[in-house]
Structure 1
Amino acid sequence: MSRDAERLQKYISRCGHCSRRRAELLIEKGLVRVNSAIVDQLGTRVIPGKDRVTINGVKIRLPKSLTVALHKPAGFITSTHDTHDRLTVMDLLPKRMIESGVLPAGRLDLQTEGLLVLTNDGELLHRVTHPRFECVKEYFAILNRPPSTRELEKLQSGVFLKEVGKVTAKAKLTHVRHRKDGTATLHVKIHEGMKRQVRRMFDVVGIKVTYLKRLAIGGLTLGDLEKGRWRQLASKEVQLLTGDGKGTTASGQGPRKTGEKRRVRPAGSMKRRKRRRSDGPSGQSRHR
């Protein structure tokens, strides 16, 4: 078998047809054909670009890989659509990008801001979101009061979230700062992605997160990418998403040198207005 061969379920996932687990079910049900022959064994391997794979008679193929970083503002749902007609992160992207099949790799809740990655690469989507790969996400949080040493230790070792019925994995809490107004700030690193996880973790110890912003995913950081703006990632940057080494910023800059200053233009206000997608070179979505 060629070195380029890969498991059939992985190939189906990378084509963006469905998740790897769903692909396994389709194979077991005999709904997948390889070179016109029905395949129902999970160990089957295929060579992308050479073998012809169909599902229910429809040929699937690898899409042109597209991965973008988006600075999600508060007030946008992390979803491809919303039944209540609320603004979604897809309203911040141009039509051509949506038609490429990009999906959010994980989610940020309605009021959380920061780095969100969208991709049409099914395998990348799986690696960024599945806890088994331990892709680290870093957040900046403002708390309504400073946490005690005991509370910090409890949060770092894992707390039980009754909403999901499980204990969180170990977290890393750093850069704890007490502020004069009685509030506090800190950085949180986790590799899970349960719904509203950071907020719920602090709820367990009686602390309210009043502001939350995702700063990094793997080795890719938000940098100076402005609210509501997106940027397509190069292949080397995509590789950083599943690593934890020295990375780059979503704004396209490398790590900032000591003492280096960078001018940042203030982001425009994100008001709820008539939706309009822009396909301009700047990647700036406009709402008028």
Structure 2
Amino acid sequence: MRINRFLAVAGLGSRRQVERLVLNKEISINNQVVENLSTDVKDDDIVRYKGKIIKSKHKLYFALYKPKGYISTTGDKFADKIVTDLIPSKERLFVVGRLDKDSEGLMILTNDGEFAQEMTHPRYEHEKEYEAIISYKDANSLEKTLRYFRSGVDIDGYKTKPATVNVLDERDRTAKLKIILKEGRKRQIRITVEKAGARVIKLLRTRIGNVELGDLSPGQWKPFSPQLPADDEKPLGHFE
């Protein structure tokens, strides 16, 4: 593991902050000052910051099926149903891929801030896959919904990136859509559907990157092990 990732996982700050510690020669490995950001930390190395030994935290990764009615914002003191309440961990957990209260499906929770940042950073363009059931007035509004996803729409002055969308089922002015996004604007799917004159009845997220919802039921969670990438590669995940 590179020194900047090691320090970030240990909780010394963001990658940019810990890189400054290295460049300022405040970090040592086995009593040797580290000057190169590409330095690797081995399992038996002793890393120190201002003379104190730094230990990397035991990293936790959970795939969770968020039920409808729970919120993703961990800082809301007045909420009675928060996703972190569903996982019995004393660690502070970061939420990867928030969902609004009325949506359900896959969320990732982890105490690895570096992993969470990489999974949510726009430049990595991690896919998020959804199944949406929508109701529409006529064939024109359904066609418009598909076109809006594929071309992008304006949300608060920002035009969304083109998404992949396919119709899985269609009957009685109701359609089941498979939608794949490479970004995560707030309520992006619901707003896009509403702009086309249709309405979301149910929204379920089934995948984030290579981590899938699988056979989890609402409220269930499962640990998984990420295959940590090189700095410019995308994190992957598989269930244990």
Aligned partner of residue 100 in structure 1, secondary structure = coil
**Residue 178 (1) aligns with residue 178 (2):** no
Using the TM superposition, give the Cα deviation of residue 130 of structure 1 relative to its aligned residue in structure 2, in angstroms: 1.1
Aligned partner of residue 233 in structure 1, secondary structure = strand
Residue 160 of structure 2 aligns with an amino acid whose one-letter code is T
TM-score (norm 2): 0.79
Residue 85 of structure 1 aligns with an amino acid whose one-letter code is A
- Partner of residue 219, structure 2: 228
Match of 1:168 among 160, 163, 168: 160
Residue 12 of structure 1 aligns with an amino acid whose one-letter code is L
Aligned partner of residue 125 in structure 1, secondary structure = helix
- Partner of residue 69, structure 1: 63
Q: How does 1:204-223 map to 2 (within 5 A)?
A: 204-223=195-214
Structure 1 residues 198, 21: closer, same or farther in 2, change over 3 A? farther
- Partner of residue 88, structure 1: 82
Cα distance between partner residues in 1 of 2:171 and 2:84? 36
Cα distance between partner residues in 2 of 1:61 and 1:156? 46
RMSD: 3.2
Equivalent pair of 1:71/1:226 in contact (CA under 8 Å) = yes
Structure 1 residues 219, 235: closer, same or farther in 2, change over 3 A? closer
Structure 1 residues 151, 212: closer, same or farther in 2, change over 3 A? closer
Match of 1:47 among 37, 40, 59: 40
Cα distance between partner residues in 2 of 1:28 and 1:203? 49
Cα distance between partner residues in 2 of 1:38 and 1:209? 57
Using the TM superposition, give the Cα deviation of residue 176 of structure 1 relative to its aligned residue in structure 2, in angstroms: 4.2
Using the TM superposition, give the Cα deviation of residue 16 of structure 1 relative to its aligned residue in structure 2, in angstroms: 4.3
Equivalent pair of 2:226/2:235 in contact (CA under 8 Å) = no
Q: Which moved more, 1:45-54 or 1:75-84?
A: 45-54
Per-residue Cα deviation, 1:16-68 (whole angstroms, up to 9, x for no partner): 444334545x64996x82028998x8x6344335252438x875432112111
Cα distance between partner residues in 1 of 2:12 and 2:114? 11
Structure 1 residues 29, 110: closer, same or farther in 2, change over 3 A? farther
- Partner of residue 97, structure 2: 106
**Residue 124 (1) aligns with residue 115 (2):** yes
Per-residue Cα deviation, 1:178-198 (whole angstroms, up to 9, x for no partner): 222x22220110021222222
Structure 1 residues 44, 139: closer, same or farther in 2, change over 3 A? same
Residue 92 of structure 2 aligns with an amino acid whose one-letter code is G
**Residue 138 (1) aligns with residue 141 (2):** no
Using the TM superposition, give the Cα deviation of residue 212 of structure 1 relative to its aligned residue in structure 2, in angstroms: 0.7
Match of 1:12 among 1, 7, 10: 7
| Paired-residue identity, % | 32
